[in-house]
Structure 1
Amino acid sequence: MSTEAALRLLPIQPHEFDSLLAGFEYEHDISEVSNTTAFDTRVDARDLRSCVVCGKKAVGGLHPGVKRAHIIGRTEDVLWDFLKRRGHVPHFAKSVVHEPRNGINLCVAHHDDFDGYRFFIRWIPPAQLFVFINFSQTQDLERFHGKVVILDPKHKHSPFPASFLIQEMRTRGFHPWCTDRPFPRPLSTSYTVDDPGRGGVADLGGDSETEVGFGGSGGMGRLGGSDGAASSSGEPPSTGINQEYLVLGNPFQDPELLESMRREWQQLPNWKSANIEGLTWEGTAEENARRYIDLVGVSSH
């Protein structure tokens, strides 16, 4: 009998992965699979498997039409650790790959625009909203400029604003000749949400009482009337004599503003949730209670 024929007749012996011969072990870490699944599940649950910009919903099959995007790249561990040390991301946050607060759902088109640094998303603290900025002035994206993307800021897995800020700075670097442009307030959402399961995030558009004017010290931008005083970089459309506009600036050019933003990020529900999830609870009951109070900031009474 030939060697080839003998090999074909060899019985197949079932083995557990951990009992395979040396060199044939299953190398994929099971915890890696679990963490990746948790990332996918939590991002999908938060965004309802819909693009946060245009609302396109994922469909079944090999081409769902909506993808999960990492805000900071999945291989950027060094940057992620740096943000933790700077206090821009919680110390107990998961890895850059597995942290759901570093991910969003985007349709194929907007995923390409996001990775191509054509737009960025900015967190507006006083309004408690995430806003779409078409910094590259791409024509197809102009209808979303200054609109609120559908991300619930009160959700425990809401994206970390610092992740978006890093992506913003890269977008600014890709378009050095583009400048900040005004957009009108009150803010409206980038698309209409009909699904009541979103828990009220359809109402993120604000109203005439929403304070999104950030003039003065510690401000995020400038407001102006319809005469164009809001910015020298672009003339806002004339829609009324009392129309107000918001212009975002580069926070890295204002250290005091950046520091105030960092302090505000640490008060958000997602920050506290990330720290709670990262606790190991290896100490005594008293030690764990003290750690919980220190991280979350609740009273012991």
Structure 2
Amino acid sequence: MPDMDARHNRGVFEGFTTEWIDSDDASIFVRHAGSGTPVLLLHGHPRTSATWHRVAPRLVAAGFTVVCPDLRGYGRSRGPEPSPDHSAHSKRAVAQDMVAVMRSLGHERFCSAGHDRGSLVALRLALDHPTAVERLVLIDCLPVSEHLRRAGADFATRWWHWFFFAQPEIPERVINADPASWYGRKADAATMGADNHAELMDAVAQPEVVRAMLEDYRAGLSVDREHEEADRTAHRRVTAPLRVLWSLQDDIEELYGNPLDIWRGWADELDGFGIDSGHHVAEENPADLAQALIGHFRPSPSQRRPVPGLR
């Protein structure tokens, strides 16, 4: 893996260690710092781990160890070639990457928060590896299968990109013709922060990154949905205490009402609320988001639960 150059070392995450950690078939770029309870932060599409640059230092200052990876195929992380059934980029495969990353850093059990596509990885992590996830926060998230069960004209109009990205080859040709224009429509440097924005633009200029991000969505509508339906049939639920957060200026409430009503079918222990922000809440309202994370990841003594297998 090449050394980071000046473009990737402009000052975001000052004091964080950066490295690549190998899982079975991927090489994951990771930023980490701090001490105390480990927290894994998972970004969404099309962002990289740099999206957390205003949140992660707040968590470190609050006494947490913070780990921010680029998801498989995003940013500077690399995975295998896409597979015909899209399983190489399934949330199950990416969740396994995250277990490998955290174990490599010495964390067998940890808290996790995910946003957007990263929240789907965090959900899969909690379902597939329940003894690893101590507490969980999902941001702007519903299970893919819940979206699709409710999909109508309004959903398809607002979230058309899901179905466009799922088409073979066409999205690559369209996006790679001018990736800066495609992704720049919702990537304002002033809002994101200049370094975060530059890192995103560096990433999306690479055709292999664009293809991997599209495979994320193709997996979502196929193998990921199948995994969720299997969970439902098996009555498999999130056992870690779950906090669900959503952006009040986004459209989840408009589409579905209170998302907690849906999440009660998936989680044993649940709370949640909206945050005054647009979709990219880690960039737009990092103070309120950090406070919501700290409040959940540092529970009062009466809320603490025993580690499985220990008395």
Q: TM-score band (shorter)?
A: under 0.3
TM-score, with length taken from structure 1: 0.26
Higher alpha-carbon Rg: 1
Q: Of Structure 1 and Structure 2, which has the larger fraction of its residues in strand? A: 2
Q: Which protein, 1 or 2, shows the higher relative CO under an 8 Å CA cutoff with sep ≥ 6?
A: 2
Q: TM-score, normalised by structure 2?
A: 0.26
